[in-house]
A and B are shown apart, each in its own frame.
Chain A
Amino acid sequence: MARKVIKVDYLARVEGEGGLKVVVRDGKVQSAELSIFEPPRFFEAFLRGRAFTEASDITARICGICPVAYQMSAVHAIEDAIGVTVGGQLRELRRLLYCGEWIESHTLHVYMLHAPDFLGYAGAVDMARDHGDAVKRGLELKKIGNEIVTTLGGREIHPINVRVGGFYRAPRRREFEALAERLKWARDAALETVRWAATFDFPDCERDYTFVSLRHPREYPFNEGHIVSSRGLDIPVSKYDEHFEESHVERSNALHSRFRSGGAYLVGPIARYSLNFDRLSPIAQQAAKEAGLGPTCNNPYRSVVVRAVEVLYAVDEALRIIEHYREPEHSSEPIAARAGVGYAATEAPRGMLYHRYRLNPDGTIADARIIPPTSQNQASIEEDLATFVGGFLDLPDDDLRHRCEQTVRNYDPCISCATHFLRLEVDRG
């Protein structure tokens, strides 16, 4: 019996460990398993007994690439628990901070981690030798994302300026002057990025996903909105636990998320885009159309183009916020401890990030629940492998392994975005 096993054993990383195993028998994919370990489960226990004011700085440590997402989900959930609403310019500044993170994170993935797959290189270093100008553009664009986070967050990684109720310090208008000029360059560079990504060759693979993301009445979602799906779900964030559940799967230390009614779902750029195309700014919509994207995108390999569109949106949105910025009177709303339960979901670059906190009367955290996007996407990643790999079996071993890795990388998973480093084995049985 012709049996082929495509196997990725182990990747030791700060964020976690990932592996991959696809078993093919008689020309058909028999099983596809992604096994990962993610640290966030730990953090839920760390949070117990800590002050509600500490959650945002503790959870920011879960990820060096998307600390803002953890901070935003944390502060919004806690504000929900203590009954505080942050509006006006402080709300705008939070969107701006998120723009910075999207620009940084997406640009890193588009240029350094994903583009080499499409252009036929082992990694960004090899690619840079032939595509130096593109890589330099990517590095500069990413740097501007870092500059937003630094200006507003106090430092590049794990920003320290976010607090429940707002910020420790609101920036002066003049601090944004240099950034505004840089962002004008970034808008052109982001547009160029969309055009560049659109020239890649994409495998003709589509699936009928159930997309899940936030949706807001007016905005492309960062911090606020209902949870909606492409199958008609429309619920407030507080109902998340009623509709989604996590279960343990033996091969993975990260819990798998599914609908309670059954079935996998997908979060992240193509879900967000497909559910919110009409909320993108005109320049981002136009660029998406010119790049050959429709108002929805069901081809996960095209996520690289969608990320580029989201970078363009984030740059455009950052410029809008900075141009209209008025220094707020106070850098944060008054806050007071009280018992309660609070919920929030925000859109991390990789998809919806859900936090729930239960607070004791003195404001200490009784328990916490954190569901990162990569956990939610595990089932979809496995289904992608099971569905698509069958179509690639005529590829030579090296190319087949590569295509499997690329399929995982479509998700920019937090376990191992750089699966370029994964050790792979092909066992022909």
Chain B
Amino acid sequence: MADRRHRIVLGIGNLDRGDDAAGPAVARLLRGALPRDVEVAEHGGEAAALLGRLDGVAEAYLVDACVSGAPAGTVQRFDAASTPLPQGLFGLSTHAFGLAEAVELGRALGQLPPRCIVYAIEAGAFEVGEALSPGVEAAVSDVARRIHDELAREGHREEKSRA
């Protein structure tokens, strides 16, 4: 059984598909920069496996590329534990069965972490083998910083409540 206070950051996407690498890029920036109890991982985004990673987790931060029509690099933050994710935003995973489905499936099954934050980074291009576009690269740093701060705040809050 996973530790019920387990905290996790998952960067979702495909490193070889241009801006789809935004999620894994955030995970790479945060690796080694967070408290040791926070697990940082990259994930391909397949819903069933993704949901498995959330099992027993208390606090999850999920980062994925999205397509909403906004300028590339636009960052959206969702409190997924309290509000359903907008449909059709994350349609890029294998078999179109990805992050949004994992989160909603988790909600339907009562398995969603009590705190579940989703950062969506607007992608510009998904060309095979291309690097992140400049706007997305800046957004990656921004999201990494925000998750770092959120984790620090939440950790502090928990310590106070236990004191």
Chain A interfacial positions (CB closer than 8 Å to B): 11-15, 61, 64-65, 108, 112-113, 123-126, 128-129, 132, 135-136, 138-139, 142-143, 146, 156-157, 416-418, 420-421
Taken together as a complex, chains A and B put the C-alpha atoms of A410 and B89 apart, in Å, by 27
Residues of B within 8 A of A416 (CB): 95-96
A-B pairs with the 6 shortest C-beta distances?
Answer: A128-B108, A418-B96, A64-B94, A125-B104, A417-B95, A421-B96
Q: Are B51 and A139 in contact (CB under 8 A)?
A: yes
Judged by a CB distance under 8 angstroms, whether B101 is at the interface is yes
Residues of A within 8 A of B49 (CB): 142-143, 146, 156
Segment of B23-31, B40-48, B115-123, B131-139 in the binding face: B40-48
State the Cβ distance, B108 to closest chain A Cβ, in Å. 4
Residues of B within 8 A of A417 (CB): 95-97
Contacts A128-B105, A417-B95; A108 near B48 (Cβ below 8 A)? yes
Against A, the Cβ 8 Å flags (1 = close, 0 = not) of B68-111 are 00000000000000000000100111111100010011001110
Q: Are A112 and B97 in contact (CB under 8 A)?
A: yes
Contacts A128-B108, A143-B52; A157 near B44 (Cβ below 8 A)? yes
Residues of A within 8 A of B47 (CB): 112
State the Cβ distance, A57 to closest chain B Cβ, in Å. 13
Judged by a CB distance under 8 angstroms, whether B6 is at the interface is no
Taken together as a complex, chains A and B put the C-alpha atoms of A394 and B110 apart, in Å, by 39
Q: Are B96 and A143 in contact (CB under 8 A)?
A: no
Against A, the Cβ 8 Å flags (1 = close, 0 = not) of B1-43 are 0000000000000101100000000000000000000000000
Q: How many residues of B contact A (CB 8 A)?
A: 25
Q: Are A139 and B52 in contact (CB under 8 A)?
A: yes
20 A-B pairs (CB sep. < 8 Å): A11-B96, A12-B91, A13-B96, A14-B14, A14-B92, A15-B94, A61-B16, A64-B44, A65-B46, A108-B97, A113-B97, A124-B97, A125-B101, A128-B105, A128-B109, A135-B108, A138-B48, A142-B49, A417-B97, A421-B88
Chain B interfacial positions (CB closer than 8 Å to A): 14, 16-17, 44, 46-49, 51-52, 88, 91-97, 101, 104-105, 108-110, 126
Q: Which of B48, B51, B94 is within 8 Å of A14, CB to CB?
A: B94
With A132-B110, A157-B46 known, 14 other A-B pairs at CB within 8 A are: A11-B96, A13-B91, A14-B94, A65-B94, A108-B97, A112-B97, A126-B108, A135-B108, A136-B109, A139-B48, A417-B96, A421-B88, A421-B91, A421-B96
Contacts A64-B46, A128-B108, A132-B109; A14 near B93 (Cβ below 8 A)? yes
State the Cβ distance, B123 to closest chain A Cβ, in Å. 12
Q: Are B91 and A132 in contact (CB under 8 A)?
A: no
Residues of B within 8 A of A136 (CB): 109
> Which chain B residue has the least Cβ–Cβ distance from A412?
B95
> Which chain B residue has the least Cβ–Cβ distance from A416?
B96
Residues of A within 8 A of B93 (CB): 14
Q: Are B48 and A142 in contact (CB under 8 A)?
A: yes
Contacts A125-B101, A157-B46; A108 near B109 (Cβ below 8 A)? no
> Which chain B residue has the least Cβ–Cβ distance from A132?
B109
State the Cβ distance, A327 to closest chain B Cβ, in Å. 29
Q: Are A418 and B97 in contact (CB under 8 A)?
A: yes
Q: Are A143 and B48 in contact (CB under 8 A)?
A: yes
State the Cβ distance, B153 to closest chain A Cβ, in Å. 31
